[in-house]
Structure 1
Amino acid sequence: MIKRSFWLEKIEKAWRQRSVIWLSGVRRVGKTFLCQSLPTVEYFDCELPRVRKMMEDPESFLGSLGGKRIVLDEIHRLANPSELLKIAADHYPNVQVLATGSSMIGASTKFKDTLAGRKIELWLTPMMSTDLNDFGWPDLGRRFLYGGLPPFFLSEQLPERDFQEWVDSYWAKDIQELFRLERRHSFQRFVELLMLQSGGIFEATKFSRPCEVSRTTISNYLKVLEATFVVNVIRPFSSHRSTEIVAAPKVYAFDTGFVCYHRGWNSLRDEDKGLLWEHFVLNELHAHLQSRNVYYWRDKRGHEVDFVLTPRGQMPIAIECKWSASDFNASNLVSFRK
């Protein structure tokens, strides 16, 4: 079994801080595989009725474990998952728990409030540079085209059908079960258009007509996609200068493979790689920072910096992403520093 060293180390570090870890990430990003690769853990699949029955009495269940490390996969299938995790954190700290489940459960107010200060959150992103080495395939071109979902990346042929099946499954299992949205065509058309313009400035009004819904509905769709990690909304950084543009965010798809699929790319030209490299760098930042506090900067004279980090108590860090060094122009960074 492949050991994803970066993530295993993250889990061990988190367990040294708290006894409960919440592992989030999109469908098929490898949460179950990662959980099962952990040494000396007992794995429970909460989709199974017999497993859910075991957990109807949380105290009896946790008390029987005797200080083991356990994985509770698909924990959102339980009647009250936050209660079980709260009891584990407060009364059975010798039981180390790694829980996975729907991203919307993790984002819910009840879940956050109940487990505030009791858990470490770990966001499993699509495959990053360390993963490529662990899988023995450090090929960025393949990572760009096939994407960072492990089953897709390892596919013998370009998994075009899998991309569409993933979108269909996302609608049926994540969106319908959690949000009960109507107008499937409008929602999926919005997803398609976002993938096509991934990395660009987002203006809700431009999506209303092709998706046949109101601007408010488009904004709600975007919140759903962001909450479920399918898009990353990068908001503008501001140093409060009048020359800066601070209104419109950028929206990036969560994975390069989906960008390529929706653009109809089955091979990559050199001019395609700059955009995909930008997405890959953002993925690396998210994996290492475990935070969505990544911004971009733009002014009214057309200068732009791809990403800006704002570490607490330090100067902002500006990042420019160029696939080729010959494309680099320092003027954007110079303007940012002024």
Structure 2
Amino acid sequence: MQFLSRRIYFDLKNHLDSPEMSVILGPRQAGKTTLMLKLMEELKASNKPAVYLNLDILEDKQYFLTQHTLIDRVQRLLGMEGVVFLDEIHRLENAGLYLKGLYDMKTPYKFVVSGSGSLELKANIMEPMTGRKREFLCMPLSFSEFAANRLSVNLKDLDSTIDSNKYELARLVDEYMAFGGYPRVVLSQTYEEKFSVLSEIYKSYLERDIEALLKVEKSGVFESLVRILASQVGNMVNKSELSSTLGVTERTIKKYTHLLEKTFIIAMVPPFYSRVRREITKSSKVFFMDLGMLALAQGRSPEVKFSEGGTFENACYLRLNELNLLERVKFWRSKTGAEVDFVIISPKTGKAIPVEVKSSVKEERPLSKSLISFIGKYKPNACFIYNRENSFESKRGNTKIGVLPYHYTLPGVG
């Protein structure tokens, strides 16, 4: 089993000593099972008892009939202590109540549970498990994780090796933008193999998750919606317009975009609000959570061109997503047409930090009119501009301006 180093692995490892259940969520084939097997392998190497049970395996499924039958099985395998890994828990009816019952039995076991991202999983597990679990989100590899694995460096050391790996990083940026970060895709050796694996993941999502698990009534409409959203990536979504284009109700559009969000395929970024009435807008911008999935949804070759604005903006959104800012990432657009790609609400100061995305930046004129407008209105302490390769600092009034290549992490924000 080839293992890719992930931040989530160390977070899960550190949580093994907590009595809370560790619940791993995320899309299919993002690496949840691999994480569990790697943790179990390490535990056994340290002579610590651990067992893995998978609800997709018929032999294992029989032991989930009741909580008592499961504990009896675990006790026979582990004795009176150890870590229990339960995979594909979303296959279990009323999984949340089942896990709540397990937890409330006060057994001597630590439980690590995983399930693919679905509405059933969220509804059936999260609410009953309030106060009894910690969630861990397992997504496709971030660019930092992808680059660190390819360069064979520790994640924490990646930024310090950027200058010495400048040209290799530029090549890795292009590959990541083309194929994304699903582990099987990353581990594939040739472009042809990567495209084949990615196509399989994409098809599996539409056919298995959507048609079967989520029981979408109009799967053809759903697939068309995915393609349209991919063509509009980085732009505001007009649900009324989509309703007219696809010939379905606006309620259906809202339902389907909600499904796409909850299954970790897209993210809807809301506008940055202030007390200035001229900036009020209700539409959100759409981004995909994996660049390879975006490429397939757009129906284009994985040989991506870096200059494609929507793709690059999506890539930069994923970079911001690495900072674990969640709902703190927004965008700004005034009714006069001024727009800033992203606005981060700093968790440290609560102040707005504008982030603009450009294919290239000139040192003598780094700021767009929209960014100048935002700085004049909100007086941020700092602003950042992501671009292909330039790196320099500047200033406008009291606002520090940082121009960064894509492979740099925003400093002092997360």
- Which range moves more in the overlay, 313-322 or 37-46? 313-322
- Measured in 2, the distance between the counterparts of 1:317 and 1:205 equals 30
The residue identity in structure 1 corresponding to 2:122 is A
Shift of 1:309: 3.2
- Which range moves more in the overlay, 191-200 or 290-299? 290-299
Out of 284, 287, 293, the residue aligned to residue 252 of structure 1 is 287
| Shift in alpha-carbon separation, 1:174–1:268, aligned structure 2, 3 A | closer
Equivalent residue runs for 1:171-320 within 5 Å:
171-261=206-296, 262-272=298-308, 274-289=309-324, 291-310=326-345, 314-320=349-355
| Shift in alpha-carbon separation, 1:318–1:312, aligned structure 2, 3 A | closer
Shift of 1:146: 0.9
- Which range moves more in the overlay, 228-237 or 84-93? 84-93
Answer yes or no: is the 8 Å Cα contact 1:127–1:149 preserved in 2: yes
| Shift in alpha-carbon separation, 1:54–1:201, aligned structure 2, 3 A | same
- Could you report, residue by residue, the CA deviation over 1:38-58 in whole angstroms, capped at 9, with x for unpaired residues? 122422111112212112231
The residue identity in structure 2 corresponding to 1:337 is Y
Number of the residue aligned with 1:52? 61
The residue identity in structure 1 corresponding to 2:184 is P
Shift of 1:244: 0.7
The residue identity in structure 2 corresponding to 1:269 is K
Number of the residue aligned with 1:23? 24
- Which range moves more in the overlay, 212-221 or 287-296? 287-296
| Shift in alpha-carbon separation, 1:62–1:311, aligned structure 2, 3 A | farther
Answer yes or no: is the 8 Å Cα contact 1:102–1:174 preserved in 2: no
- Could you report, residue by residue, the CA deviation over 1:10-54 in whole angstroms, capped at 9, with x for unpaired residues? 213444555311111112211112222212242211111221211
Shift of 1:241: 0.9
- Could you report, residue by residue, the CA deviation over 1:180-219 in whole angstroms, capped at 9, with x for unpaired residues? 2222211101111111211111001222243232222111
Q: TM-score, normalised by structure 2?
A: 0.73
Equivalent residues, number:
336
| Shift in alpha-carbon separation, 1:59–1:316, aligned structure 2, 3 A | farther
**In structure 2, the residue corresponding to 1:198 is in which secondary structure?**
coil
- Measured in 2, the distance between the counterparts of 1:266 and 1:49 equals 38
Unaligned runs of 5+ in 2: 44-49, 152-168, 380-414
Shift of 1:293: 4.3
- Measured in 2, the distance between the counterparts of 1:287 and 1:62 equals 38
The residue identity in structure 2 corresponding to 1:107 is K
2:120 is the counterpart of 1:105: yes
Shift of 1:149: 0.8
- Could you report, residue by residue, the CA deviation over 1:75-94 in whole angstroms, capped at 9, with x for unpaired residues? 11123322332133333364
Number of the residue aligned with 1:10? 11
**Higher relative contact order, chain-length normalized (CA < 8 Å, sep 6+):** 1
Shift of 1:332: 5.1
2:172 is the counterpart of 1:157: no
Q: TM-score, normalised by structure 1?
A: 0.88
Q: Which runs of 4+ in 1 moved over 6 A?
A: none
- Measured in 1, the distance between the counterparts of 2:245 and 2:6 equals 44
- Measured in 2, the distance between the counterparts of 1:82 and 1:287 equals 29
- Could you report, residue by residue, the CA deviation over 1:153-191 in whole angstroms, capped at 9, with x for unpaired residues? 333124444444333321332123333222221110111
Answer yes or no: is the 8 Å Cα contact 1:148–1:255 preserved in 2: yes
- Measured in 2, the distance between the counterparts of 1:88 and 1:316 equals 43
